[in-house]
Amino acid sequence: MSVLAEIIAGVREDLEQRRAVVGDADIVSAAADAPPARDAFRALGGATAPADRDSRLRVISEVKRKSPSKGALADIPEPAELARQYAAGGAAVISVLTERRRFGGSLEDFDAVRAAVDVPLLRKDFTVEPYQIHEARAHGADLVLLIVAALEDTELVQLLELTRSLGMEALVEAHTEEEVDRAVAAGARIIGVNVRNLKTLEVDRSTFSRLADRIPSHAVIVAESGVRGIDDVVSFAERGADAILVGEALVKDQDPTAAVAAFSEAGSAAKPPRRN
């Protein structure tokens, strides 16, 4: 089994335990009762008219305790405090991992961050079922992750529709040319190029420009993973990223506020004017 398949098997088990506590009908009504979602597409620089787009690079800052590739990254005793620091640095979106087994995340972490900041939040998990999307919304998420490699085309389309019907958007993650094409065909407006292969955990930063070139200009392009510092930020920005998603480098930084601000500033200076 690939790493991705193993992670998803665990995610499904954990999901069934939560479902036994909060049933389908209850999660659907909790999602319906939640305050409206924030506009994550706009927060990431997306606009319906190309002329309305600017050339700032947005930073999606991630609350990430550990990972299957690197093990423990940071203690993060207070995810809320880290999120406040990210927000103070100008994070456009904050990503909170909720996968427990491999990433040490939880919905409790998500709730703590939701209570602390008003920026749009990404619930970062391996979304394979409608339940998780209702659950994300019930907890105040504005954006969910849909990983193309984990879904059939029909599932991808259905989960994307459900996400939007709840007022949220999806970050649709691809790692190959074929996956980018599937994301575009499904109607994704926010497309992430993950330079880490979730099946082998290897990072290859050159994946980014190869795949970004296939993404139509109306979509927001997110470079995911592998940002070690300013040089990687500049390189992704030069190659067409509208946003970057950064975990490890930020959770390990002594001053996450300054790091987010420095990434936004350097990336924005390097970003070429928008193609139309």
Q: Which of 38, 64, 114, 239 binds ligand IGP (CB under 6 A)?
A: 64
At 219, is the secondary structure helix, strand, or coil? coil
- Interaction of residue 127 with ligand IGP, rule CB under 6 A: no
CB of 45 to ligand IGP, least distance (A): 18
Identify whether the C-beta of residue 137 lies closer than 8 Å to the C-beta of residue 174: no
CB of 85 to ligand IGP, least distance (A): 16
C-beta nearest to ligand IGP: residue:
247
Q: Which of 173, 179, 232, 253 binds ligand IGP (CB under 6 A)?
A: 173
Strand 220-224 with 243-246, pairing: parallel
CB of 205 to ligand IGP, least distance (A): 11
Query: What are the structure tokens assigned to 207, written together?
Result: 């994946």
CA distance 33 to 137: 9
232-238-239 Cα angle (round to 5): 90
Which positions from 199 to 238 touch ligand IGP by CB under 6 A, shown as an x/- string? -------------------------xxxx-----------
Q: Which positions ≥6 away from 121 have C-beta within 8 Å?
A: 93, 94, 95, 96, 110, 113, 114, 140, 141, 142, 143
Binding site for ligand IGP (CB under 6 A): 62, 64, 124, 173, 194, 224-227, 245-249
| Catalytic residue numbers, as ranges | 62, 64, 124, 173, 194, 224-225
